[in-house]
Amino acid sequence: MSVEEVLSELRRRIQSRLPPDINVTGLEFEGPELVIYTDDPRRLADDGEIIRSLAKDLRKRVVVRPDLKVLMDPEEAIKKIQEVVPKEAVLTNYHFDGETGEVIIEAEKPGLVIGRHGATLREITKLIGWTPKVVRTPPVRSSTIANIKDYLRSVQTERKSILRSIGRKIHRDIASKDQWVRISTLGGCREVGRSCMLLSTPESKIIVDCGINVGSDDSATPYLYVPEVYPLSQIDAVVLTHAHLDHSGLVPMLYKYGYEGPIYCTPPTRDLYVLLQLDYIEVAGREGKRLPYDSSMIREALKHTITLNYGDVTDIAPDTKLTMHNAGHILGSAIAHFHIGDGLYNVAFTGDFKYEKTRLFDPAVNSFPRLETLVIEATYGGANSIQPSRKEAENHLLRVVRETIKRGGKVVIPAFAVGRSQEVMVVLEEAIRKGLIGEFPVYLDGMIYEATAIHTSYPEYLNNELRDMIFHKGINPFLAECFVQVENSKQRDEIINGEPAVILATSGMLNGGPIMEYLKGLGPDEKNTLVIVGYQAEGTLGRRIQKGWKEIPLTVEGKTQTVKMNMEVVTVDGFSGHSDRNQLMEYVRRVYPKPSRIITNHGDESNCLDLASSIYKKYRIPTSAPMNLETIRLI
């Protein structure tokens, strides 16, 4: 059946389920959603049950939108909304989208706008015609998110046509009688840095992650020129497990070389990848490096991004459904689960994951409806890659901070903007609040503040305790007074010459960024302490300092000079967002259902091989640790 025939058949079925006086004026696939246009959305909205049962019956994600002619003038609509919604909701902003007929309502308490079982929302729909969507008023304004919203609004006509064409591709006919599922390894196998795999069937080709190894020149990018993926026009979808550059960094380049399809990721991953990619090309450009893409390609990627929340089961190809599950690694990080065919095969990619509860996130999901193959990261896959518990790590950090502050020194913590910084912030805030380590400012320098703003916009992606603390106890640790955003060099000088403090600054491996200024200013004084909480790759300045270098060459604002490293250097292990060896083995033991095959990646060669052979020995599950450029047939 052609897509046209599918749509008209669906339209017949939908119309037959609706009261005869409700008129379906249009039906369209937009991305993975089936959109019902009606000139009487109020009537449909009246009965939430109709849509729920339609969605279940049609096995599609169903959305109802008003026919454009029934939309109320925005000015008037705002008044109506304000009449219906209780004052306590605190409405702060409205965005009307003429293309989709949606109005995005920002409120401090979105629950009150939604009402019991969505009653208030339905009431609004009935009154104004527009379909209301509610989002929480962000406690800290993220300029990234604001820019993304503005941009998407500015291209909404084009985006709508992109979504339609994606929708039609997803719902095309299945053509082949062959049945097979394959994984091709394009990057990130027996290495860390350019994660990229291709999941393919006779019907569809899906790229899972497309990272860049920013620390390498020779092997920076995945093997995208091989015929399995090239030309990129044949790719159906790109799925991102999370926003770190080694998983998302090369995605914009795909659009430069002919890819035209969607990117699926969680909403926080979208915002964070935009932040990190823009920063990446800005820094690389400043250093005079050849850029794989420019900001117009990032906008192109954004235009094609379709966000999915954890648990949304979504058609992304004629034979493939994708569901994202919490991975516990960073904000929005996901284990990507693919259901292929009608019960034919299930495969999950862990991406980077943490199988331990952290300050910010719940441990990674380990239960799936079905699972035959698990692709698991092996960053700490080696037999000796055991990390201290998070509790031990926190105590260690606090001890070092307390001692340094006590002796009148300053603590410098190099940190990745996304992930470790927020973990450390929560730990420090609690300790300061509870009076465990004294009172002092915690300076945030580099992108950390902006990344934190994005975190505060997605409380539903944080773990229960943190969400509970923010919403019910009214303590938002990210907004605590101790945190001070650093804006410029003058302020840095003042901090360097000022009172005891903690400074969180990027970059995480000391290869650039504001951290360099602090190192220069604070390195020579032995009262100060450099606390390393993140992984330092071979070849970085961070690794050299860890090894004990006492004199380091520093380039700050173009000038290179030698700086004596007299400050104390402490490595605090245990803050990693990756599962350590014990957590990896425990995850495999507990993952449900037990997979019949496990593939290791995202670790150096020995870690990938060691984890694979250990899993086989202990659990008798067949494993492999492929090289890049291989293709494994799953069924």
Closer to a second copy by CB, 232 or 510: give it. 232
* Of the candidate residues 25, 137, 147, 234, the single one contacting a second copy (CB under 8 A): 234
Of the ranges 53-61, 115-123, 386-394, 625-633, which one interacts with a second copy (CB under 8 A)? 625-633
Closer to a second copy by CB, 223 or 518: give it. 223
The two tokens of residue 454 are 């994005």
Q: Is 602 within any annotated ligand binding site?
A: yes
DSSP string for 70-90: GPPPHHHHHHHHHHHS-GGG-
Closer to a second copy by CB, 475 or 632: give it. 632
**What's the closest the beta carbon of residue 258 comes to a second copy, in angstroms?**
14
* Of the candidate residues 119, 383, 436, 627, the single one contacting a second copy (CB under 8 A): 627
CA distances from 410 to 188, 378, 442, 568 (A): 38, 35, 10, 10
* Of the candidate residues 72, 284, 344, 629, the single one contacting a second copy (CB under 8 A): 629
* CA–CA dist 157, 324 (Å, integer): 28
Query: What's the angle, vertex CA 270, arms to CA 265 and CA 274, rounded to 5?
Result: 145
**Residue 605 binding a second copy, by CB under 8 A:** no
Q: What is the CA radius of gyration of the chain?
A: 25
> Rounded to 5 degrees, what are φ and ψ at 27?
-145, 130
Closest CA relative to residue 372, chosen from 593, 197, 184, 185: 593
Closer to a second copy by CB, 64 or 224: give it. 224
Exposure on the CB side of residue 390, measured as CA atoms within 13 A: 19
Asked if 237 and 348 touch (Cβ cutoff 8 Å), the reply is: no
Q: Is 246 within any annotated ligand binding site?
A: yes
Of the ranges 8-16, 224-232, 413-421, 592-600, which one interacts with a second copy (CB under 8 A)? 224-232
Strands (E), 411-550: 411-414, 442-445, 483-485, 502-505, 529-532
Residues with Cβ within 8 Å of 23's Cβ and at least 6 positions away in sequence, in order, are: 38, 39, 40
Closer to a second copy by CB, 232 or 360: give it. 232
Of the ranges 76-84, 105-113, 178-186, 294-302, which one interacts with a second copy (CB under 8 A)? 178-186
**Residue 217 binding a second copy, by CB under 8 A:** no
Of the ranges 25-33, 209-217, 298-306, 627-635, which one interacts with a second copy (CB under 8 A)? 627-635
CA distances from 473 to 348, 465, 469, 476 (A): 36, 10, 5, 9
Closer to a second copy by CB, 223 or 353: give it. 223
**Residue 631 binding a second copy, by CB under 8 A:** yes
DSSP string for 456-493: HH-GGGS-HHHHHHHHTS---GGG-TTEEE--SHHHHH
How many residues in the shown chain lie near a second copy by CB under 8 A?
20
Q: Is 244 within any annotated ligand binding site?
A: yes
Q: Is 247 within any annotated ligand binding site?
A: yes
Closer to a second copy by CB, 193 or 267: give it. 193
**What's the closest the beta carbon of residue 197 comes to a second copy, in angstroms?**
13
**Residue 621 binding a second copy, by CB under 8 A:** no
Which residues in 188-207 contact a second copy (CB under 8 A)? Answer: 202, 205
**What's the closest the beta carbon of residue 223 comes to a second copy, in angstroms?**
8
Closest CA relative to residue 195, chosen from 185, 183, 187: 187
Three-state SS at 228: coil
**What's the closest the beta carbon of residue 314 comes to a second copy, in angstroms?**
25
End-to-end C-alpha distance for the chain, whole angstroms: 27
- CB-neighbour burial class of residue 369 (10 A; exposed 0-12, middle 13-18, buried 19+): exposed
Of the ranges 62-70, 72-80, 180-188, 566-574, which one interacts with a second copy (CB under 8 A)? 180-188
Asked if 595 and 346 touch (Cβ cutoff 8 Å), the reply is: no
* Of the candidate residues 76, 94, 229, 243, the single one contacting a second copy (CB under 8 A): 229
Q: Is the dihedral of CA 199, 205, 209, 210 positive or negative?
A: positive
* Of the candidate residues 28, 97, 228, 604, the single one contacting a second copy (CB under 8 A): 228
Closer to a second copy by CB, 190 or 325: give it. 190
Asked if 426 and 477 touch (Cβ cutoff 8 Å), the reply is: yes
Which residues in 131-150 contact a second copy (CB under 8 A)? Answer: none
**What's the closest the beta carbon of residue 377 comes to a second copy, in angstroms?**
20
Single-letter residue type at 221: T
**What's the closest the beta carbon of residue 206 comes to a second copy, in angstroms?**
13
* Of the candidate residues 180, 310, 616, 619, the single one contacting a second copy (CB under 8 A): 180
Of the ranges 152-160, 388-396, 556-564, 623-631, which one interacts with a second copy (CB under 8 A)? 623-631
Closer to a second copy by CB, 556 or 629: give it. 629
Closer to a second copy by CB, 268 or 341: give it. 341
Q: Is 236 within any annotated ligand binding site?
A: no
Closer to a second copy by CB, 21 or 218: give it. 218
Closer to a second copy by CB, 235 or 588: give it. 235
Residue whose token pair is 């505060």: 456
**Residue 628 binding a second copy, by CB under 8 A:** yes
* CA–CA dist 279, 385 (Å, integer): 31
Q: Report the interhelical angle of 390-406 vs 420-433 (nearest 10°).
A: 60
CA 40 to chain centre: 37
Binding mask 371-410 for a second copy (x = CB under 8 A): ----------------------------------------
The two tokens of residue 574 are 């245990």
Asked if 87 and 60 touch (Cβ cutoff 8 Å), the reply is: no
Contacts with a second copy by CB under 8 A lie at: 178, 180, 182, 184, 202, 205, 223, 225, 227-229, 234, 626-633
Give the annotated binding-site residues: 242, 244, 246-247, 329, 352, 602
Give the annotated binding-site residues for Zn(2+): 242, 244, 246-247, 329, 352, 602
